[in-house]
Amino acid sequence: MAEPHDAPRDLTRNQGLVLGTLNRSSAPLSAYDILDKLREEGLRAPLQVYRALDKLVERGLAHRLESLNAFVACADAHCHRKGLIAFAICERCGRVDEFADEVIEERLSGWAANTGFKTERTTMEIRGQCAECLKAAA
Amino acid sequence: MAEPHDAPRDLTRNQGLVLGTLNRSSAPLSAYDILDKLREEGLRAPLQVYRALDKLVERGLAHRLESLNAFVACADAHCHRKGLIAFAICERCGRVDEFADEVIEERLSGWAANTGFKTERTTMEIRGQCAECLKAAA
DNA sequence: CGTTGCAGCGTTATGCTATAACGTGTAGAG
DNA sequence: CTCTACACGTTATAGCATAACGCTGCAACG
């Protein structure tokens, strides 16, 4: 059975294990969740996971969800997503939708230009309930 | 010396102390930072601070910055700010600017309407460097 | 070849952030 | 008065993240 999408070939063993775990999960995972799933593979310490996550996030293969202190694999198979990414997080099923919006990006960079702020990183996270969970709850 | 802005009169002692501490700070504070500043006032346990913060955030008198695990007082003196708030956080001096943008709000609610997502809470945080720090570094 | 530099690895220890679970005190509603 | 709701105080614990150490393997270079 194939992964949701192929991983780059130049990942280290730990990075590959961590990314694989994220890809197999339908919900965000904390570093400790990941560690627990990888004990069989020989991982023992949080740092092993955090180091791998740092690299994956740096390369855009995974994202950190600040409001959850958790991580997801990037939804874009080839990870060419540029610019601002917004996340919609369902608090019921844990599902995360990733989307980009150029208008929002323009507004933010406009604000930054006006105030002389130099943006380095932006996080945008919407919490709520996804359509499916709303239907199921009805 | 007056507070940056008057606090509502119906806060409990702990809530007032915590809000006062946030108001006096020019940068976000973690719950433990606040606790340390309030030991003289008799506070001893994190929970005392967290409980006060919960209420303050609930009432919009303070905000939680997810990407810092820290808190700031609301910048709006009378806290009537509605809707989405974006935060621009300077990583150099710690200063936080609060702003609202209706266009962004419309785009997000548009996305939510299209996908059937029911938004409950949105966090938007921009990290970078403020104009003053950029000037100082030049 | 040797060695130098870098990146990742593994381990232990520690620090920071947040909440569970318990009981107490007090003010307002009925 | 008594019931309810809410805040409080305390102890203990859970959950998230990094510091600091030393080692290994590999590629670049003289």
The CATH code that applies to domain B1-76 is 1.10.10.10
Looking at the partner chain, which of A101, A107, A117 has a beta carbon nearest the beta carbon of B130?
A: A117
Mean pLDDT within B35-48 = 97
* Mean confidence (pLDDT) of chain B: 92
User: What pLDDT score was predicted for residue A87?
Assistant: 98
Domain ranges of chain B: 1-76, 82-138
Looking at residue A32, its amino acid is Y
Strand partners, B135: none
User: What pLDDT score was predicted for residue A3?
Assistant: 44
User: What pLDDT score was predicted for residue B55?
Assistant: 97
> Is any Cβ of chain B less than 8 angstroms from the Cβ of A115?
yes
The predicted-structure confidence for B5-29, as pLDDT tens digits, reads as follows: 556 778 999 999 999 999 999 999 9
User: What pLDDT score was predicted for residue B117?
Assistant: 98
Strand partners, B73: B62
* CA of B58 vs chain A CAs: smallest distance (Å): 16
Contact B126, A124 (CB under 8 A): no
* CA of A133 vs chain B CAs: smallest distance (Å): 9
Report the CATH fold assignment for A1-77: Arc Repressor Mutant, subunit A (1.10.10)
H/E stretch holding B72 reads strand B70-73
pLDDT at B124 over 90: yes
User: What pLDDT score was predicted for residue B137?
Assistant: 87
Mean pLDDT within B33-52 = 97
Tell me the average confidence (pLDDT) per consecutive run of 10 residues in chain A, 138 residues long. Answer: 57 97 97 98 97 96 97 82 89 96 97 97 97 92
Cα B51 from Cα B72, distance rounded (Å): 15
Cα A62 from Cα A73, distance rounded (Å): 4
Helix (H, G, I), strand (E, B) or coil at A88: strand
User: What pLDDT score was predicted for residue A1?
Assistant: 41
The predicted-structure confidence for B51-62, as pLDDT tens digits, reads as follows: 999 999 999 999
* Strand C bases within 7 angstroms of protein beta carbons: 8-13, 16-21
Equal fold, A1-77 vs A82-138: no
The predicted-structure confidence for B60-96, as pLDDT tens digits, reads as follows: 999 999 999 999 999 986 666 677 999 999 999 999 9
The CATH code that applies to domain A82-138 is 3.30.1490.190
Rounding to the nearest 10 degrees, give the CA dihedral for residues A123, A128, A132, A133: 140
For residue B59, say whether its CB is under 7 Å from any atom of strand D.
no
